[in-house]
Amino acid sequence: MNSVIVPVYNEKDAVSISLDKIRELKLYEKFEFIYIDDGSDDGTHDVISQYPVKLIRHTANKGYGAALKTGIRHATGERVIIMDGDGQHDPSYIEKIDSLLEDYDMVIGERSPGSFQVKKRKAGKKIIRKIGEYLIEQKLPDYNSGYRGFHTSQIRSMLHIMPNGFSFSTTSTLAYLKEGYNISTIPIDVAARIGRKSNVRPVKDGTKTMMLIFRIIMLFNPMKVFLPASISIFLLGFGFGIYGYIVFDRFSNGAMLLTVLGMFLFFIGLLADQIAIMNRKKS
C-alpha cells in the first residue's frame, strides 16, 4: 500500500471536501493517507481526526516543506504522492500518478492552461523557471506543482537538501533533473483554493524568492554563474590593463585587481561546484 502525504495549515473549511472525495473514490482502502497538521489553530486537527487517515501534528507552524518531510519520513509505502489539502487538488489523479511511478522516478501533475493560478505570483515563477532552465540546460515541466509522486527511498535520500519552506516542489524538480532521473507528467486541472487566502505574500516573500534563486544556483550549478562572471571580469581587467600599458606605459592597479578577481572567482566557482556535488550526493 503506497502513501499519500497531505500537509495542511488552518484548512478547516477546505480539508473535509477532499477527505470526502477520497472516501467517494474508495481510496482509503488502496492507499495510506498521512495528513500533517502544521500547527493549525482553527480546528483543522479535529476535522481530520474524523476520517480513517494517519494524522501527525506539529506543535508549531514549521512550513510546507517541513510538513512534507515529516510525512515522507513516516510513510510506509514504496511510493509516495504529495498533494495540497486546500481543495485545489483533485484526489482522482492519485491512482494515475501511482501507476506511472511504476515506470518513472517522479511524476508531476502538470497544471492545464485553464487551471487556477494567482496572477501576482506569475512574474516570480517565470524568473525562477528561466534560471532553472539555464542551470539544468533543458526545458522544465511544471516545476512548481505541488501534486507529484516519488519513490520513497529516492526522495528520502534528498530530504537534506529540501527546504522547509514553500520551495520544496521547485527544489525537488531541479534535483531530479540534475541527477538524471526519469520524470513524467500528467495533465491536471487545479481549482481555486477553498477557505482562507494563501499564506504567500508576493511583496514580503520577494526576498525569500531571491534567496531561493541564489540557493538554487549554489546547489545545482554554481559554475554556470561563476564561470561567465570570472571570464568577464578577467577580460575586462586584462583589456583595461593592456589599454593602460599602451597609452600610459603602465598596467594600472585597478586593472591588476580586476584580473586577479576574475581568477579568484573561477577557483571559488570550482570549489563551490565540488561542494554542491558532495552536498547533493550526501544521504
DSSP string, 205-265: THHHHHHHHHHHHHHH-THHHHHHHHHHHHHHHHHHHHHHHHHHSS--HHHHHHHHHHHHH
Q: Which pLDDT value is given to residue 201? A: 55
Q: What percent of the chain has pLDDT over 90?
A: 52
Do 180 and 230 have their domain in common? no
Q: Which residues contact 203 (CB under 8 A, 6 or more apart)?
A: none
Do 61 and 170 have their domain in common? yes
Please say whether the beta carbons of 138 and 155 come within 8 A: no
Do 138 and 261 have their domain in common? no
As a whole number of angstroms, the distance between CA 89 and CA 22 comes to 11
Do 158 and 246 have their domain in common? no
- The sign of the dihedral angle between the CA atoms of 76, 53, 104, 223 is negative
Distance of CA 200 to the CA centre of its chain: 15
Here the CATH number for the domain that contains residue 10 is 3.90.550.10
As a whole number of angstroms, the distance between CA 51 and CA 55 comes to 9
Do 187 and 239 have their domain in common? no
pTM, two decimals, is: 0.81
Lowest mean pLDDT among 12-16, 112-116, 174-178, 279-283: 279-283
Q: Match 487538488 to its residue by C-alpha cell.
A: 89
List pLDDT tens digits, range 124-157. 667 777 777 787 777 777 788 899 999 999 999 9
As a whole number of angstroms, the distance between CA 142 and CA 222 comes to 23
As a whole number of angstroms, the distance between CA 133 and CA 135 comes to 5
Q: Match 554563474 to its residue by C-alpha cell.
A: 225
Please say whether the beta carbons of 193 and 87 come within 8 A: yes
Summary mean pLDDT of the chain: 87
Q: Which pLDDT value is given to residue 117? A: 63
Burial environment of residue 119 by CB neighbours within 10 A (0 to 12, 13 to 18, 19 or more): exposed
Q: Which residues contact 133 (CB under 8 A, 6 or more apart)?
A: 139, 140
Considering only CA atoms, which of 167, 164, 176, 163 is closest in space to residue 146? 167
102 confidence band (pLDDT: 50, 70, 90) = very high
Do 177 and 245 have their domain in common? no
**Count of domains for the chain:** 2
Domain assignment of residue 251, given as a range: 223-281
Do 215 and 243 have their domain in common? no
Do 173 and 70 have their domain in common? yes
Map residue 76 onto helix, strand or coil.
coil
Do 29 and 136 have their domain in common? yes
* Angle, CA of 122, 280 and 98, to the nearest 5°: 65
Do 89 and 30 have their domain in common? yes
Burial environment of residue 145 by CB neighbours within 10 A (0 to 12, 13 to 18, 19 or more): buried
Lowest mean pLDDT among 25-39, 51-65, 181-195, 254-268: 181-195
Do 96 and 213 have their domain in common? yes
Do 38 and 98 have their domain in common? yes
